């Protein structure tokens, strides 16, 4: 019998579980079947791999040698498979630009610019509230790029395999009803909203914790926080049931007013990421340039934000 990768996975599973019975359960095999396979593996390798008794299974010196090699080979094969998928998808099965994004102001403008500049190159998109999900899809070769947001200076996901570049940095504003008592102010103190309910779109970063910390510095605890989709956020704000936290590039609709928060306690960084070792990395500078243009256009469309930037030039896009 020739040794195969599945045999190394069995040896690793037994070592990690500490017993053949537990390993069989984890692998979805009957215990007698796994025991028989392990015996065949041991005959192929020339000796016992585990000392087995009523307390479990412990690797023998030969077992330790095999485990050492397995812990190198199995991840290497997985990485080879992922890289092959990225190569095949990018240059064979799915040519073009494949971009994933969390909800934000950049994706639409980026697609507009890419399709204008490269009319014969297909562009596909995918959206998710989860930056980690999109990053995993890039790592698996199912997306080429991810557009995500990060709160303050927090790190984006998977920085060990991903390269990230900042597209723009925006303040977080408060979104209130147009007849809210503070709606006419130039900016509002966060403490002035202490009695309000709050609403925000979901995400898997640290934004909720950063908001809670900002409220604590302002001397209050948020009365209530709703986490829901954007349409429901806007409904609750218009109904006077909550104040929303929004990116300063948000495009206002009737019945709403967007207010800068004094001291800018919350910031949002727009990031473009790609797998560091992938072929799409070659086009990253092109994608980043188009993304920055899309962000700059979103800033220009927001009159409240454009006015605020005159006194806060470190945000938005530097001219």
Q: What 3-state DSSP class applies to 19?
A: coil
Tens-binned pLDDT, residue by residue, of the chain (319 aa): 788 888 999 999 999 999 998 988 888 888 888 889 899 999 999 999 999 888 889 999 999 999 999 999 988 888 888 777 666 655 544 457 999 999 888 999 999 999 999 888 889 999 999 999 999 999 888 899 999 998 888 888 877 889 999 999 999 999 999 999 998 888 899 999 999 999 988 888 888 888 899 999 999 998 888 888 888 999 999 999 999 998 899 888 889 999 999 999 999 999 999 998 888 888 899 999 999 999 999 998 888 888 888 888 777 654 4
- C-beta pairs of 283-289 under 8 Å, 24+ apart in sequence: 283/97, 283/144, 284/145, 284/163, 284/165, 287/97, 287/99, 287/110, 287/114, 287/145, 288/165, 288/167
* Residue 86: per-residue pLDDT: 64
R_g (Cα) of the chain, nearest Å: 26
Asked if residues 102 and 131 have their Cβ atoms less than 8 Å apart, the reply is yes
Q: Which two tokens stand for residue 242?
A: 């909550």
Asked if residues 47 and 62 have their Cβ atoms less than 8 Å apart, the reply is yes
* Residue 95: per-residue pLDDT: 58
* Residue 319: per-residue pLDDT: 40
DSSP structure class, residue 93: I
Q: Which of 52, 77, 47 is nearest to 63 (CA)?
A: 47
Query: What angle is formed at CA 87 by the lines to CA 286 and CA 92, rounded to 5 degrees?
Result: 95
The 10s digit of each residue's pLDDT in 191-234 is 999 999 999 888 888 888 888 999 999 999 988 888 888 889 99
pTM, two decimals, is 0.69
Asked if residues 200 and 245 have their Cβ atoms less than 8 Å apart, the reply is yes
**Residue 317 CB: number of other CB atoms within 10 A?**
18
Q: What 3-state DSSP class applies to 126?
A: strand
* Residue 103: per-residue pLDDT: 83
Q: Which of 91, 89, 106, 76 is nearest to 273 (CA)?
A: 106
Q: Which two tokens stand for residue 151?
A: 């709160």
What domains does the chain contain, in order, with CATH numbers? 5-82 (1.10.10.10), 94-319 (3.40.190.290)
């Amino acid at each position: 019998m020739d040794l195969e990768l599945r045999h190394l996975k069995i040896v690793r599973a037994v070592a990690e579980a500490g017993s053949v019975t537990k390993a069989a359960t984890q692998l979805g095999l009957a215990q007698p079947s796994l025991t028989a396979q392990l015996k065949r593996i041991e005959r192929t390798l020339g000796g016992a791999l585990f000392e087995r008794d009523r307390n479990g299974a412990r690797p023998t010196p030969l077992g330790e040698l095999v485990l050492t090699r397995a812990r190198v080979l199995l991840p290497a094969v997985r990485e080879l498979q992922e890289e092959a998928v990225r190569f095949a998808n990018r240059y064979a099965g799915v040519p073009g630009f494949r971009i994933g994004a969390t909800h934000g102001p950049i994706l639409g403008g980026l697609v507009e610019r890419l399709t204008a500049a490269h009319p014969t190159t297909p562009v596909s998109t995918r959206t998710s509230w989860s930056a980690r999900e999109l990053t995993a899809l890039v790592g698996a070769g199912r997306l080429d790029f991810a557009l995500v947001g990060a709160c303050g200076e927090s790190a984006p996901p998977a920085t060990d395999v991903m390269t990230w570049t900042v597209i723009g940095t925006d303040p977080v504003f408060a979104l209130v009803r147009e007849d809210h008592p503070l709606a006419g102010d130039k900016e509002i103190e966060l403490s002035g909203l202490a009695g309000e309910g709050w609403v925000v779109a979901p995400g898997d970063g640290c934004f909720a914790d950063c908001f809670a910390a900002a409220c604590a510095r302002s001397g209050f605890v948020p009365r209530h926080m709703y986490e829901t989709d954007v349409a429901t956020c806007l409904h609750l704000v218009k109904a006077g049931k909550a104040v929303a936290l929004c990116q300063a590039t948000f495009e206002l609709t009737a019945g709403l007013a967007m207010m800068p928060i004094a001291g800018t306690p919350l910031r949002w960084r727009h990031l473009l990421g790609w797998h560091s070792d992938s072929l799409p990395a070659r086009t990253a500078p092109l994608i980043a340039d188009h993304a920055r243009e899309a962000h700059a256009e979103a800033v220009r469309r927001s009159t409240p934000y454009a006015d605020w930037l005159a006194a806060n030039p470190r945000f938005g896009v530097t001219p």
